[in-house]
Amino acid sequence: MSHPSAQADTGAGLSRLAAISAALRPHDPGAQVALDPDHGSVQVLTVLDPEEVDRILAAAGIPVAPTPAGAGGGCGCGCSCSGG
């Protein structure tokens, strides 16, 4: 699938990445956040529970969408949270 504004999409993804990283940092300084531009998703590696990540992101005003069934977990922000 092609995206006519792929660079704009990547810029928006990087902005979202920075916002997620900034929101999580006070709660888990070791959290790692990475952008997957091919799928338009963000992957988060953190020691926080996915429910806590969801709460933190919601409090920071970062939109959180429900994770599709069978998607392997995550907080719903488009990431693949690995709580630990």
Fold of 9-59: Alpha-Beta Plaits (3.30.70)
- Provide the pairing of β-strand 32-36 with 41-45: antiparallel
Q: Where are the domains of the chain?
A: 9-59
Quick one: pLDDT at residue 36? 79
Task: Classify 76 in phi/psi space as left (phi over 0), alpha (psi -120 to 50) or beta.
Answer: left
Residues 17-61 have pLDDT tens digits of 889 999 999 999 999 998 777 877 788 899 999 999 999 999 999
| Total-model pTM | 0.63
